[in-house]
Structure 1
Amino acid sequence: MSRIDKAGAETDLGYRDSITKIEPYGVDHIPDVEKHGKPSSQFYVWFAAGLSFPIMILGFSAAYLGLSLTAGIIAVIVGAVVGSILMGVLSRMGVRLGVPQQIQARGPMGHVGNLPPVAYINVFAGIGWSALNIVVASRALNLMIGIPFWLAAVILAAIMLVIALYGYNMIHFVQKWMSPVLVVLFAWTTVICLINGSSTLQTNTKAAGYVGGAGSWIILGGWFLAFLIAWTPFASDYSRYLPDNRKTSVRAGWFTGLGNFVTMVWLGIVGVFLAGTSTSSDPIVALKGLMGPWFVVALLALLFSLFTQNSLNVYGGAISVQTLGLPFNRKQAVVIICVLAYAVSLWAQAGVYDKFETFLNLTSYFITPYVAVIIMDYFIGGRRDKQRIPELYDKRRILGWGFVSWLVGVLATVPFWQSTLYTGPFAAHFPSFGDLSMYVGFVVALLVFLATYRLKPLWTLRRTATEERAVRPVVGGDLG
Structure 2
Amino acid sequence: MVSLFRRIGSGSDANPIGIEMAGTEPIPGDRRHGRPRTLFTLWFGANIQFATLSVGALSTSVFGLDLIPAACAIALGTLFSATLVGLFSTRGARIGIGQLIQSRGPFGWFGNLPSAIFTVLNGVGWCVVDSLLGIFILRSLLDIGFTTAVAIVAGAQLIVPLIGYRLIHSMEKFLSGVLVIAFAVVSVLAFGKMGSSAAVDSTPGGLTAFVLTLSVTSARALGWSAYSSDYSRYLPADTPPARTFLAAAGGSAVAGIWIGVLGAALGTVGKITEPTSLISHLVPGMTAKLILVTLLASTLASTVLDLYSGSMAALVAGVRVPRWLSVIGVCGVSTVLTLWVGEHGFAGHFQDFLLLTSYWVAPWAAVNLVAFWWRERGRNPRIGELYDTGHRFGWGLPATLVGVIASVPFMTQSLYTGPVAAKFPALGACGQLIGFTAAGLTYLGLTARKAAPAPMLAVDAE
With the length of structure 1 as denominator, give the TM-score of the two structures. 0.88
Higher mean C-alpha displacement, 286-295 vs 94-103: 286-295
Q: Please tell me whether residue 268 in structure 1 is matched to residue 260 in structure 2.
A: yes
d(CA) in 2 for partners of 1:36, 1:18: 18
Alignment partners' CA distance in 2, 1:37 and 1:221? 34
Asked if 1:330 corresponds to 2:330, the answer is: no
Say whether 1:138 aligns with 2:131.
Answer: no
Q: How is 1:35-50 mapped onto 2 (pairs within 5 angstroms)?
A: 35-50=32-47
Please give the secondary structure, in 1, of the residue aligned with 2:26: coil
Q: Tell me, what secondary structure is at the counterpart of 2:338?
A: helix
Alpha-carbon distance change, 382 to 163 in structure 1, aligned in 2, over 3 angstroms: same
Query: By how many angstroms is 1:200 displaced?
Result: 4.0
Distance 1:444 1:151, change over 3 A: same
Aligned residue number for residue 199 of structure 1? 195
Q: Which residue of 1 aligns with 2:292?
A: 299
Counterpart amino acid of 2:431?
S
Which of 281-290 and 311-320 deviates more? 281-290
Residue 359 (structure 1) aligns with? 353
1:443-462, Cα deviation, whole Å (9 max, x unpaired): 111111111125679xxxxx
Amino acid at match of 1:262: V
Q: CA deviation at 1:203?
A: 9.1
Deviation at 1:117, TM superposition (A): 2.0
Amino acid corresponding to residue 474 of structure 1 in structure 2: A
Partner of 1:113: 111
Give the drift of 1:233.
0.4
Tell me, in whole angstroms, the C-alpha distance in 2 between the residues paired with 1:323 and 1:475.
18
The answer as to 2:366 corresponding to 1:372 is yes
Q: CA RMSD in A?
A: 2.1
3-state SS of paired residue (1:328): coil
Q: CA deviation at 1:140?
A: 0.8
Map of 1:226 onto structure 2: 219
Q: Deviations over 1:414-436 (max 9, x none)?
A: 01111111111111111123411
In 2: Cα distance, 1:108 partner to 1:448 partner: 13
Deviation at 1:280, TM superposition (A): 4.7
Q: In the aligned structure 2, how far is the partner of 1:200 from the partner of 1:387?
A: 50
How far 1:383 sits from its partner (Å)? 7.9
The match for 1:58 among 52, 55, 59 is 55
Gaps of 5+ in 1: 1-12, 458-471
Among 238, 246, 249, which residue is 1:245 paired with?
Answer: 238
- Whole-Å separation in 2 of the counterparts to 1:96 and 1:57: 35
Label 1:445 to 1:297 Cα distance change in 2 as closer, same or farther (>3 A).
same
| 2:177 paired residue number | 180
Residue correspondence of structure 1 range 374-389 to structure 2 within 5 A? 374-382=368-376, 385-386=379-380, 388-389=382-383
Which residue of the partner structure matches residue 3 of structure 2?
none
CA contact (8 A) 1:44 1:175 kept: yes
Check whether the contact 1:368–1:438 (CA below 8 A) recurs between aligned residues: yes
Confirm or deny: 8 A CA contact 1:66 1:203 kept in the other structure: yes
Q: Does 1:343 align with 2:327?
A: no
Report the CA distance shift for 1:102/1:387 in structure 2 as closer, same or farther (over 3 A): closer
Q: Which amino acid aligns with 2:277?
A: V
Matches of 1:410 and 1:311, distance apart in 2 = 29
Q: How many residues align?
A: 444
User: Structure 1: which 4+ aligned runs deviate by more than 4 Å?
Assistant: 16-20, 454-457
Matched, 1:155 2:155: no
User: What is the CA-CA distance between 1:341 and the residue it aligns to?
Assistant: 0.8
For residue 125 of structure 2, what is the aligned residue in structure 1? 128
Higher deviation after alignment, 382-391 or 88-97 = 382-391
Distance (whole Å) between structure 2 residues aligned to residue 387 and residue 405 of structure 1: 20
Query: Which residue is 1:318 aligned to?
Result: 311
> Any conservation in 1 of the 2:179–2:295 contact (CA below 8 Å)?
no
Paired with 1:263 and 1:171, the residues of 2 have a C-alpha distance of 18
- Structure 1, residues 381-439: CA drift from partner, whole Å, max 9, x if none? 22854460111100111111111111111111101111111111111111123411111
Q: Which runs of 5+ in 2 are unaligned?
A: 1-9
Question: What's the CA shift for 1:302?
Answer: 2.1
When the two structures are superposed, what TM-score results if normalisation uses the length of structure 2? 0.91
For the Cα contact (< 8 Å) 1:87–1:257, is it kept in 2?
yes
Identical positions, percent = 31
- Checking the alignment, whether the CA contact within 8 Å between 2:14 and 2:22 is kept in structure 1 is no
CA contact (8 A) 1:17 1:37 kept: no
Structure 2 vs 1, CA of residues 338 and 384 (structure 1 numbering), >3 Å: closer, same or farther?
farther
Structure 1 residue 158: deviation in Å?
A: 1.5
Contact residue 408 and residue 418 of structure 2 kept, 8 A: yes
Against the structure 1 CA distance between its residues 30 and 384, is the aligned structure 2 distance closer, same or farther, given a 3 Å change threshold? farther
User: Which residue does the alignment assign to 1:409?
Assistant: 403
